[in-house]
Structure 1
Amino acid sequence: MTSTLGYAILAVLARGERTGYDLAASMRRPVGYFWTAGHSQIHAELQKLRAGGLVGFESAHGPGPQDKKVYHLTAEGLAALREWVTEPPRERPERDELVLKTYAAWVAEPELVRRLFADQLATHEARLADYERQEASFGGQPAFGDPGFGGYATLRCGLSYERHRADWCRWMLAQLGEGP
């Protein structure tokens, strides 16, 4: 059974072969916006995927004394990814620390709660501005079937999320007696 991280790696490799370093970079951005993993997790998962025949590698001359491994998706890996993509996601409990803090905010100093939400608003507005710059760089929506479509679709989800969170933070600040 392949883990969700394994499928994330397969999704990156479906766009083209990568070294372990390149995979880690792709997992930081753009995949890191919606799924995170550290370098050691990626390396361990690559070994499992290789053992399962879902990825392979070729050795290539590296910058140092050792060769580098350039990983690629196998036909079995592509088939597994295609099957996984259309399965419903597993149920996962929601875990949102800011919402949990909001639930208990009535016990805190109002000014400290205001500061928390002002800081969160600034964070979400900055991320929204970054996402809007990325959207402008797309130059239009890629067609379904184009590898860029998935990136564009996830970016649209991120835009919606950041707008929602910024609006909610503004609403909280208004409730606390301070406009954004």
Structure 2
Amino acid sequence: MTATTSTLGFAILAVLARADSTGYEIAGRMRHPIGRFWTASYSQIHTDLQRLLAADLVEYATAPGPGPQDKKVYSITAKGLGALRDWVTQPPRPQPERDELVLKTYAAWLADPATLIEMFRTALRQHEERLAEYESAWVAVEERAPAFGTPGFGNMATLRCGLTYERHRAEWCRWMIDQLSRSLEPS
């Protein structure tokens, strides 16, 4: 079953394994905290929900909506939970990284170092802002110290990865700024 389900489909199943949700609620939960490491638009989520329904991995019940139409509240099926459990333990498929800043760095030798320094200062500020946000969230998560086997453990583990990633990227941006600044110094 995992071969026909997209990675986004499994992200949706992971959201539904925590709580039944409308498509709108799934999209909101995909923004935070999942948005730290996986993003999707509402239209992508809606398309994958239809695939998951067709594969009997999710189902829905209707409930009164805010407007004239009922809303659909999706839930994961036993088959969906089994597929998610199987998928979680499979090694991730190799995927090429797509990092625009690294790609620009690859061609940086063609650009003005002073302009590049500003680009890396902007990137550094963005990474430091996310790092501060993650550090603040970490304090709250660490106090609860969620145990493995609870959804909170997944939150803690992914947040920990985000912390180390942002620290690494900030340090790399500082290194790039230093290297570029040296290139501006007279010999």
TM-score by length of 1: 0.96
Residues of 1 paired with 2:108 and 2:20: CA distance? 48
Report the counterpart of residue 157 of structure 2 in structure 1. 153
Q: Does 1:141 align with 2:145?
A: yes
SS at match of 1:14: helix
Q: Percent identity?
A: 63
Letter in 2 for 1:123: Q
Note the alpha carbon deviations across 1:60-87, whole angstroms, 9 max, x for none: 1111111111100100000000000000
**Number of positions where the alignment pairs a residue of Structure 1 with one of Structure 2:** 178
Residues of 2 paired with 1:9 and 1:170: CA distance? 36
Letter in 1 for 2:86: E
SS at match of 2:18: coil
Letter in 2 for 1:85: V
Letter in 1 for 2:5: T
Please list every run of 5 or more consecutive structure 2 residues that lacks an aligned counterpart in the other structure: 183-187
1:162 to 166, 177, 186: 166
**2:60/2:75 contact within 8 Å kept:** yes
Larger relative helix fraction: 2
Report the counterpart of residue 29 of structure 1 in structure 2. 32
CA RMSD of aligned residues (A): 1.0
Q: Which runs of 4+ in 1 moved over 2 A?
A: none
Letter in 2 for 1:169: C
